[in-house]
Amino acid sequence: MATAAAKPWPEVLRKLGLNRPVDLVLHFPLRFEDESTVQPLASLGLGIWSSADDKQGSSVQCQVEVIDSQVVFKPRRMLRVRVKDVSGEGQLRFIYFNASMQAAFTKGAHYRVIGVPRYSRLGGVEFIHPRLKKGWLSDEELKGQPLRAVYPSTSGLTQDRLSHWIHKAIEEHSPSEWLPQDRLNRLRLPSLTDAIKELHRQPQPQESLFWDRVRLDEVVAQQIALRRARSSRHRVSAPALHDEMRLSERLLQALPFQLTDAQHRAWLQLRADLNRPVAMHRLVQGDVGSGKTVIAALAVATAIGSGYQAAVMAPTEILAAQLYLKFEQWFEGLGVEIVFLKGGLSERERRERLAGLANGTVALAVGTHALIQESVQFARLGVSVVDEQHRFGVAQRIRLREGGVHILGMSATPIPRSLAMTYLADLDVSVIDERPPGREPIRTRLISQSRREELVEPLCRLRQEGSQAYWVCPVIEGQQDNEKAVAALEETEQWLRPLLGDELGVVHGRLKAAEKQSVMQAFARGEFTVLLATTVIEVGVDVPSARVMVVDHAERFGLAQLHQLRGRVGRGSGQSSCILLYQEPLSESAKLRLRALYETDDGFELARRDLALRGPGELLGLKQSGEPELRFTDLQRDERLVQKGVDLGALIADAFDDSEQLLKLGFEPQAINNLLSRWHRLATDLLTSV
């Protein structure tokens, strides 16, 4: 037993998010300082002042002799020490110093100075607060000097103290190996202890096997945690839905189209899940326009046809309204009672609608995600459909699962396979990778703002062609429309109004929900030609005769958002186009986004590029949900390793509850538990919240 356990954990470490010895073990160096070589002062000049990021410069060691030291007051009080070596001169500056430090810099004193050199116009080469060692070392002695790790730290914690704690932790709490030797050999990876020691000892390139070993640890822990969440969900019972009333079949027959093969596959997977007495949690993901809504309707029909109720939720009220209209149209002839729980209902209306759900006379509720939060009571809820469910984090997903209901998530953000495989491993996924037939590809054009006049004529012609257009202006910051966005939109309105007259309708976030909706509905009925809007036209709006999408200031939108917007057109027959109006000059990343969009309309390909540009946190909204991301693993760079980690994680998760089985596979149950707790932000937090 370590006696150190009695000592309280240093508070300063908590500031760095280091709460346990194992956190220290996994706190890897930022960089290394080389104390085995000495550089002449004069050699430091070149390159230092030309480097743009002098903070990031690498650290060097010099052996110097003090010329003199004095306290100066320019630009503020500091200690300035002039030093020299055989090659030339330089200076050291200290803003924080005391009398004993001052006294130590006597003329002729020898020091080793270790730090990042800078160039100052006045003093030449200088070091600010370098590390100092008294005396010089001979060439022999220098050779024996180890590389010194520099760790991410915080104020009030010196590198020496931090390093001391880290090394103590490595010695006393070195993680136990959980991978059997034969597997390690097959994976051609070093042992965990070796990997950790090496990473603390000297710089390792990103592609190093030592990093790979740590990444494998991380991915496997994440996989076990998510897969355990999935299997614990499989133990939650939910009604087996067999659709005795054959409502889903009747819905299919009433549809004006046939399911595509991809839709059919998703429907069969979904139906098999619903038939079983365990809670489903399936994510249907498919590109915009791939036809996810009808899959949701089939799930709803199955619930209602089995004597249960269904809830359908969307992230915004406009989307919820769209779904409501669609469902009303599809279920009208089938005698299903639907309510729309929208904002702005009178108290009485709302009470009545809720009562219908509570006593079971109403079979289907459509609303925003607030439906789950507001604890709306259902008599016999069987299925919950959550549109745009990728915006939910794991914690929310888990909360959704309470209550023994089948959950169908829908995501219009095509999720790259690597991402689905890792972050969404607690879900079953169906992919709709095919578009309904008869769609012509959307033509995408990039046009500079300076040429926007050219759009007027084609817009005015749309009416005769029976077509409609969206004109979308960006919301500049945050989610809500702000002053600037509305001002930009009003300016565009003033420009378009004289040209289009009544053929122009406007919606923005400042309008009341009911007003927004009535404009949107008038547009959907074809009562006017051009809908000018801020991004309230989010994902999901479906107006088949809209064939033109103009995105104003396209450079301000993200890739996924632009792809979603483009997906608002091309939903019916005929040629559709998407016009991206951009303001020059374009930033590099804006160029990349616009080019990607021009080059492909494959949502999966775009999502891959988006993942490369922004990382998984942005794509899945992990940042907002406060969910842990993989720290060391990059899904794209480390793709092959991730695959190995996923396979291993699956193997272990399947055997997790059966220690004999685990042992047979060569895994120590205790070592696996340690693995999970080592990555507790990823693993145990998730598991304990299940």
Note the residues at the interface with Mg ion (CB under 5 A): 540
Q: Using the rule CB under 6 A, which residue among 123, 307, 404, 436 binds ligand ADP?
A: 436
Nearer of residues 540 and 603 to Mg ion, judged by Cβ: 540
Nearer of residues 175 and 286 to ligand ADP, judged by Cβ: 286
Q: Using the rule CB under 6 A, which residue among 60, 270, 294, 298 binds ligand ADP?
A: 294
Q: Using the rule CB under 6 A, which residue among 69, 263, 430, 534 binds ligand ADP?
A: 263
Task: Quote the least distance from Cβ 536 to ligand ADP, whole Å.
Answer: 17
Nearer of residues 117 and 540 to Mg ion, judged by Cβ: 540
CB 109 within 8 Å of CB 131: no
Q: Select from Mg ion, ligand ADP, none the partner in contact with residue 627, using the beta carbon and a kind-dependent cut-off of 5 to 8 Å.
A: none
Order of strands, edge to edge, in the sheet holding 124-128? 118-120, 124-128, 88-94, 78-85, 60-72, 110-115, 131-134
Nearer of residues 385 and 676 to Mg ion, judged by Cβ: 385
Nearer of residues 192 and 259 to ligand ADP, judged by Cβ: 259
Q: Does 547 bind ligand ADP (CB under 6 A)?
A: no
Task: Quote the least distance from Cβ 319 to Mg ion, whole Å.
Answer: 8
Strand pairing partners for 111?
A: 64, 134
Tokens for 109? 């004193």
CA-only gyration radius of the chain, Å: 32
What single-letter DSSP state applies at residue 574?
S
Task: Quote the least distance from Cβ 636 to ligand ADP, whole Å.
Answer: 26
Please give the Cα distance from 331 to 495 (Å, whole number): 42
Q: Does 390 bind ligand ADP (CB under 6 A)?
A: no
Q: Does 93 bind ligand ADP (CB under 6 A)?
A: no
**Token pair 């108290």 in the structure block, residue:** 347
CB 39 within 8 Å of CB 61: yes
> Residue 8: left (phi > 0), alpha (psi -120 to 50), or beta?
beta
Task: Quote the least distance from Cβ 261 to ligand ADP, whole Å.
Answer: 9
Total residues at interface with ligand ADP (CB under 6 A): 19
Among 164, 195, 162, residue whose Cα is nearest residue 178: 195
Nearer of residues 16 and 252 to ligand ADP, judged by Cβ: 252
Report how far apart the first and last C-alpha atoms of the chain are (Å, whole number). 32
Phi, psi of 474 (to 5 degrees): -75, 150
Strand pairing partners for 61?
A: 114
Among 144, 139, 137, residue whose Cα is nearest residue 114: 137
Amino acid identity, residue 154?
T
The angle subtended at Cα 186 by Cα 185 and Cα 190, nearest 5°, is 40
> Which residue, judged by CB position, is nearest to ligand ADP in the bound state?
291
Nearer of residues 25 and 410 to ligand ADP, judged by Cβ: 410
CB 255 within 8 Å of CB 294: yes
Amino acid identity, residue 509?
G
> Which residue, judged by CB position, is nearest to Mg ion in the bound state?
540
Q: Does 573 bind ligand ADP (CB under 6 A)?
A: no
The bridge status of strand 60-72 relative to strand 110-115 is: antiparallel
Contacts of 626-633 with C-beta under 8 Å, sequence gap 24+, read 626/393, 626/395, 627/393, 627/394, 627/395, 628/681, 628/682, 628/685, 630/215, 630/218, 630/219, 630/222, 630/422, 630/682, 631/218, 632/211, 632/214, 632/215, 632/218, 633/215, 633/218, 633/219
Residues 202-261 that bind ligand ADP (CB under 6 A): 257-260
Among 233, 208, 23, 153, residue whose Cα is nearest residue 682: 23
Site string for ligand ADP, 516-545 (x = CB under 6 A): ------------------------x-x-x-
Task: Quote the least distance from Cβ 436 to ligand ADP, whole Å.
Answer: 3
What burial letters (b/e) apply to 70-79, b meaning 16+ CB within 10 Å?
eeeeeeeebb
The bridge status of strand 546-551 relative to strand 468-472 is: parallel
Task: Quote the least distance from Cβ 391 to ligand ADP, whole Å.
Answer: 15
Nearer of residues 295 and 394 to ligand ADP, judged by Cβ: 295
Nearer of residues 126 and 287 to Mg ion, judged by Cβ: 287
Please give the Cα distance from 238 to 382 (Å, whole number): 8
Q: Does 571 bind ligand ADP (CB under 6 A)?
A: yes
Q: At what angle do helices 317-331 and 513-524 cross, to 10 degrees?
A: 50
Task: Quote the least distance from Cβ 388 to ligand ADP, whole Å.
Answer: 10
Nearer of residues 124 and 291 to ligand ADP, judged by Cβ: 291
Task: Quote the least distance from Cβ 511 to Mg ion, whole Å.
Answer: 22
Distances (CA, A) of 6 to 3, 161, 171: 6, 19, 17
Nearer of residues 263 and 633 to ligand ADP, judged by Cβ: 263
Nearer of residues 474 and 540 to Mg ion, judged by Cβ: 540
Nearer of residues 110 and 439 to ligand ADP, judged by Cβ: 439
Task: Quote the least distance from Cβ 542 to Mg ion, whole Å.
Answer: 7
Please give the Cα distance from 277 to 596 (Å, whole number): 44
Nearer of residues 328 and 490 to ligand ADP, judged by Cβ: 328
Return the number of other C-beta atoms located less than 10 Å from residue 5's C-beta.
9
Tokens for 492? 């565009």
CB 290 within 8 Å of CB 259: no
Q: Select from Mg ion, ligand ADP, none the partner in contact with residue 260, using the beta carbon and a kind-dependent cut-off of 5 to 8 Å.
A: ligand ADP
Q: Does 617 bind ligand ADP (CB under 6 A)?
A: no
Residues 411-430 that bind ligand ADP (CB under 6 A): 412
Task: Quote the least distance from Cβ 537 to ligand ADP, whole Å.
Answer: 13
Task: Quote the least distance from Cβ 264 to ligand ADP, whole Å.
Answer: 9
Residues 264-293 that bind ligand ADP (CB under 6 A): 286, 288-293
Who's near 351: CB < 8 A, 6+ residues apart?
Answer: none
Q: Does 603 bind ligand ADP (CB under 6 A)?
A: no
Burial class (CB in 10 A: 0-12, 13-18, 19+), 476: middle
Q: Does 560 bind ligand ADP (CB under 6 A)?
A: no
Amino acid identity, residue 437?
P
Task: Quote the least distance from Cβ 541 to Mg ion, whole Å.
Answer: 9
Task: Quote the least distance from Cβ 392 to ligand ADP, whole Å.
Answer: 17
Residues 14-73 that bind ligand ADP (CB under 6 A): none
Task: Quote the least distance from Cβ 384 to Mg ion, whole Å.
Answer: 16
Q: Select from Mg ion, ligand ADP, none the partner in contact with residue 263, using the beta carbon and a kind-dependent cut-off of 5 to 8 Å.
A: ligand ADP
Helix (H, G, I), strand (E, B) or coil at 479: coil
Q: Select from Mg ion, ligand ADP, none the partner in contact with residue 544, using the beta carbon and a kind-dependent cut-off of 5 to 8 Å.
A: ligand ADP
Instruction: Tell me which residues touch ligand ADP (CB under 6 A).
Output: 257-260, 263, 286, 288-294, 412, 436, 540, 542, 544, 571
